[in-house]
Amino acid sequence: MNTHDDIHTDGDLDVDGDAQIDGTLNVTGAITAASVTPLALKFDTSAISGFAAATNTAGTAVYGETKDAGATATAARVGGPLSLKCGDGSSGDSTIAGGAGGALSLAAGIGGATTGTGVPGAGGATTLASGAGGANANATGASAGGAGGALAISGGVGGATSDTSGAVGGAGASIAIAAGAGGAATAGTSNGGAGGSISLAVGAGGASAGGTAGSKGSIDVTGAMTHALAGAAVAVQIDQIGPLSTEGMKTMIIDETLSPAAVETNLSATIPVGAVVRYVGACVMSGLTGGGTTATWGVGTAGDGDKYGTAGFGDTVADALTKNSKSRCCPTPTTLAAAEQICVTGCATGGTSDGNTALTVGTIRVVVIYDAPLALTSAV
C-alpha cells in the first residue's frame, strides 16, 4: 500500500505487506502490522508530536504490550517477547573508524514547575520489573511454583583485538547507579533537599504452610567493592550490618580539616563509648608552623599525641610540618571503655611527646573511620 493522502478508519486496519503513508493515519480501532521483516512499524522524528499531549490535563499515554500465551495449551507456550534494540555501528577499516552502536535511553518525564505557591510535580517514575513466577494450584501434586523471571543489567563486553603489536582490548563498560542530588535552596533561608537513596533488597523466602520456608536471596559481589562516601566534621554513617536497620553495628566516618592554633587541636566530633576505631589518616593540606621544640605533628589523644600515628607513619616516619606530610593507621581493634576525643598535636622531634609551641598558620585534614554497636529493639 502506498499513498500520499490521509487515511481515516473507524474500524481496524490490517496490513500484511509494506505500507508507506505520507499523510496522516487516523485509526480508532486496532492496527495489525504483519511485516515480513523485523521492522514492523517505522516512525520518523516528526511522529513524536503525535504522542504528545495537546490541551488535555494529563499527558497522552503510549502503551506497548505483546500478546499473552493464552489460558490453555497442549504444551507450554511463552508470552510474546518484546525486544528493543538499537542499530549496530557501521563497520570500519584501516583508515575509517567503526561507528558507535546506537544509544538506548529510558527517561521518565520531568515534574512540572510552578511559579506561584503550588507544589511542583514529581518526576515520573521508571520501573523495570521482571515477571512473577506462576503459582501452582494443584493441591495434591508435588510440582513447584514457577521461578520469578530474571532481571539482568550488564555492561557491554570490551572489544577483542587481533593486533599483534601489543594493543590492548577494549575495556568492559562500567555500570553507574546514582541517586539524584537534593534540590538546592537558592534564596532566603530555605533548606536544601536531601539526596536520593539507593536501596538494594534481596527477595524474602516464600512462606510454607507445613514444610520449610524458603531462604532469603543473596547479593553476591565477585569483584572489589569500594565505598567512596564523603564524611564531615560530624560523624556520618556509611554502613550498617544487622537484622534490622536499627540493630547490629554501624560504620561511621569523620572527615574534617583543622586549622590548628594550639599544641593540641580537637576534632569537632568525639568517638563514642563502645566504639572500635578502624582507621585514622591525616594529610597536611597547607604547611604548618611550629617553633620551640615543636618540630612535627601527630594524631592521637591528650597525653598520647601519636596514638594514631605521626608524620610519615605507615610509610617512613619523618619529622615534618610541610604540605602533603601524611600518616595512616589501622590500630589494633580495641573497644573504647569511654568516649574518646581525638586531636592533632604539635609534637617534639620523633613525635612521641608534645612540643612546647602551638601549631599555627596551616591546615591538616583528618579522616577517622570507626564501628559503633547498636542496641537491639525493645520487646513490645
* CATH number of the CATH domain containing 339: 2.60.120
Looking at the domain assignment, is residue 119 inside a domain?
no
Looking at the domain assignment, is residue 279 inside a domain?
yes
d(CA 4, CA 7): 9
Looking at the domain assignment, is residue 130 inside a domain?
no
Give the chain's mean pLDDT: 82
Out of 14, 43, 63, a domain closes at: 63
Out of 63, 93, 116, a domain closes at: 63
Which pLDDT does position 16 carry in this prediction?
67
Looking at the domain assignment, is residue 294 inside a domain?
yes
In this structure, the strands spanning 276-286 and 248-258 are unpaired
Local confidence band at 103 (pLDDT 50, 70, 90 cut-offs): confident
d(CA 40, CA 47): 16
Residue 252, phi then psi, degrees to nearest 5: -120, 155
Looking at the domain assignment, is residue 10 inside a domain?
yes
CB neighbours of residue 378 within 10 Å: 5
Q: What is the pLDDT of residues 278-327, one digit of tens each?
A: 999 999 999 999 999 999 999 999 989 999 999 999 888 899 999 999 99
| Mean pLDDT confidence for 324-331 | 96
Please check whether residue 336 is in contact with residue 274, taking contact to mean a CB–CB distance below 8 angstroms: yes
Q: Residue 353: give the domain boundaries.
A: 248-374
Looking at the domain assignment, is residue 243 inside a domain?
no
Looking at the domain assignment, is residue 341 inside a domain?
yes
Report how many domains make up the chain.
2
Q: What is the pLDDT of residues 20-59, one digit of tens each?
A: 666 666 666 666 665 555 545 555 545 444 444 445 555 5
| Mean pLDDT confidence for 256-285 | 96
Looking at the domain assignment, is residue 303 inside a domain?
yes
Out of 17, 37, 63, a domain closes at: 63
